[in-house]
Structure 1
C-alpha cells in the first residue's frame, strides 16, 4: 500500500512539472471565415491584346493564409490556413475556422502557394511585405554589358532619390555586408498575389459559432496586388536575332501587406523575356514596313514608383545571329501613363528598333527566331544492321 501511494505521488509530481498553465479554449471562441478571390485579371484571365498569341497561364490558389493581429502592436495573435475551396454564384471562395479570443484585431489573408512571391515579417501586420528575389546568376549572365550599364545608371538615380527621402527621416540606406546598397537589383516579375486586409475587426464574445465579416457585414474579398501588362515593340530585321530580353527600370520591388501599398523605397529592375509575334506590325510601325515584326510579352509588376523623376524605361537586349548584341533603351513613361495603358494595361511602343544586318550569312539561313535550311541534297548510303 505504501509503495502504491509513493507511485501515485510520483505521478502527480511528474504531471505538475510537465504541464504549463494555458487558457481554456472554448467552442465559443471559434469563428467561421469566408474569403472570395477576385479573378478578373487583365491580360491573364480577360482583356487580352489581339497580338497576344501566347498568353500567361493562370492557376487558382490552393491555400489561403489567414492572420489576425493586435491593432496596436501589429503582432500576430492567431493564424489559420484555408484549404477548403468552393464556388457559388458570386465566384470562388475559401473557407475555414479560426480560434481567437474576443477583442479587436487586424485581419490579413493572402495566398500561400506562390512560386515567385515571398512574404517577409508575416508575424507583424505593420511590417509584413511581399517581394521577389533577384534573378539567378546564370540568367543574369545573359544580360549584355551595355544593358547592365544602362540598368546601373537607372538604379543609381533611384537609390539617390531614396537616399534623399530617407535622409529626411534620419535613416540611412539599407546595407548589405556593411556597405550601402547602390547597385542594380534585377528581380523576377512577381506571380499574382491575392491579398485581403481589414483593420479593427471586433470579435465579440458569443456562446455560438459566429462568422467574421467586414464592417459592411460582407465576406472578405482578396484581389491581386500585382498587375499584368502587355507590351509590344516593332523590330526591323527580327530574323537577325536569336533571343531578346527586356529590363524595365523604375518599378517597385515590394508591397506593404498591411496597407496594400507599394514600397516606394525599394526600386528594382524587372527581368522579362520577349517573343516574336506571327503578325507583321504594319498597323503599329511607322510607314507600315513589311520587314517590321512585333516582339511582345506580358510581364507582372507591383507597380511603378510614384516619385520616379526619370520615369519608366525599358532596355531591350538582343543577341544577334552573328554573335553580337544590340541594346536599345526606350522611355515608356508616356506609354505607361496613357489612357490605353491605364485602362487596358497595354503598352504599345511606336518607335521601331532596327537590328543591324550581319556582315556574313547574307541568305539569312540557319539562325534567328525564324531559322531556315536551304540547298538540301539527296545522299544514298547503305545502312548495315
Structure 2
C-alpha cells in the first residue's frame, strides 16, 4: 500500500513540475474593414474626380517591431479580413498603379512609394536638346547686355547640371493611402473598422503662352526641384523625402482663361524639394510639324510660391514661346518622320 502511494505522489509531482502556465489563446477574429477613399483632388480651383481603384492592398504590422504580420487584397470599398485579436499598425493603398511603385514593404516605417527613372538614352537626348537650346540662344545674342548675359549663362549651366547630376523620373500615379493604429477584439460576430484613404500625390497645372501653336506637334517638359518618393507609413508631409529629382511630363496645346494660345501640362508629383537651395527650372522641348525643335527655359521658383499658385496648384507664365513658321513646302510629318527600306531577298539554306 505504501509503495502504491509513493508511486502516485511521484507521478503527480512530476506532472505538476512538467506543466507551465500559458496565456489563454483565441482563434482568429473576423473584421470588416470599411475603406473610405477620397477620390477628388483640386486643380485650378476645381475638384477633379479620380477613377476608383480596382484593388486595395491592406497590411497589418506588429506595433512593437513594426514588422509585417499579414496582408490581404480587398475591393476599393473594403471587405472581410481574419486576424488574431490584438493591436496592429495598419496601412492600405491602391494596388493598381503603373508608374507608382512600392519598395521595402516588410516594415511599417520603411515602406516607400516611388517611380522609376527614365532611360539613360532618353535622358541623354534631353540633355543634348538643352545644350542645343543654349548654343542656339547664345549665337543670336550680342554683347550689349554685359552682366545680364553672364547671369543667364550661369542659370543655364546650373539647370543643365541639375538635370545631368540628379535622377530624371516619370510622374507618379495617384496613390490613395490609409494608415492608422487599430485593435481587433475577440467578440461574437464581425467587428467593423473604418479607414480613410486619400492621395499622397499633388497635381499641378502649368501653362506658358505660345505663338504659332498650330505648328506644334508635341511638347515635353522637365521640372527640377522635385522630390523622389514618400514613406507612406507617415503623414503625407512627414513622409516626403529630400532626394532632389527632375520630373518629366508631356504637354499639349490649349488656351487659357483669356483665350490666349498656350502650351499646357497637368502633372503629378510627390512634391517640391523643401530645401531653400532647390530651384525650379522648367524646360520645354517642342517638336514642330516641320520636324524642327524649339526649346524654352525659365526659372519658375517665384511663380511656384505665389499665394494664387499654392491655392489653385496652377502656374501661368505670360512670357511667350515663339515657333517660327515653317518654310513653304516643309510641313513635315508632325515631327515624326518614319522610313521603311525596301525588302531585300535572302536565300538561307536550311539543313534537314
TM-score under structure 2 length normalisation: 0.71
Root-mean-square deviation (Å):
3.3
Specify the alignment match of 2:27 in structure 1. Answer: 26
SS of equivalent residue, structure 2 residue 308: helix
Specify the alignment match of 2:183 in structure 1. Answer: 202
* 2:166 maps to which of 153, 164, 184: 184
Residue 367 of structure 1 deviates from its aligned partner by 6.2
* 1:340 maps to which of 282, 286, 308: 308
Q: Per the alignment, do residues 187 and 129 of structure 1 end up closer, same or farther by CA in structure 2, a change over 3 Å counting?
A: same
Would you say the 8 A contact 2:39–2:50 is kept in 1?
Answer: no
Instruction: Please tell me whether Structure 1 or Structure 2 has the larger radius of gyration of its CA atoms.
Output: 2
Residue 303 of structure 1 deviates from its aligned partner by 0.7
* 1:229 maps to which of 181, 184, 204: 204
The whole-number CA distance in structure 1 between the counterparts of 2:26 and 2:82 is 8
Would you say the 8 A contact 2:26–2:186 is kept in 1?
Answer: no
The whole-number CA distance in structure 1 between the counterparts of 2:62 and 2:157 is 41
Considering fraction of residues, name the structure with more helix: 2
Unaligned runs of 5+ in 1: 1-22, 49-56, 86-93, 159-181, 213-218, 285-291, 370-385
TM-score under structure 1 length normalisation: 0.66
Specify the alignment match of 2:225 in structure 1. Answer: 250
The whole-number CA distance in structure 1 between the counterparts of 2:78 and 2:91 is 14
Residue 134 of structure 1 deviates from its aligned partner by 1.3
Would you say the 8 A contact 2:210–2:321 is kept in 1?
Answer: yes
Say yes or no: does 1:66 pair with 2:58.
Answer: yes
Specify the alignment match of 1:101 in structure 2. Answer: 84
Aligned residues, how many? 288
The whole-number CA distance in structure 1 between the counterparts of 2:45 and 2:113 is 22
Residue 154 of structure 1 deviates from its aligned partner by 4.3
Alpha-carbon displacement from aligned partner over 1:326-383 (angstroms, at most 9, x marks no partner)? 322212222222222222221111222233x36x6157755669xxxxxxxxxxxxxx
Would you say the 8 A contact 2:290–2:334 is kept in 1?
Answer: no
Unaligned runs of 5+ in 2: 1-23, 135-154, 336-352
Residue 234 of structure 1 deviates from its aligned partner by 0.3
1:1-385 to structure 2, matched below 5 A, reads 26-27=27-28, 29-43=29-43, 46-47=46-47, 58-83=50-75, 85=76, 94-136=77-119, 139-140=122-123, 143=126, 145-147=128-130, 153-154=158-159, 183-199=165-181, 201-212=182-193, 219-259=194-234, 260=236, 261-277=238-254, 279=255, 283=258, 293-321=261-289, 323-355=291-323, 357=324, 361-362=327-328, 365=331
Residue 47 of structure 1 deviates from its aligned partner by 3.6
Residue 146 of structure 1 deviates from its aligned partner by 4.0
Would you say the 8 A contact 1:155–1:184 is kept in 2?
Answer: no
Residue 324 of structure 1 deviates from its aligned partner by 4.1
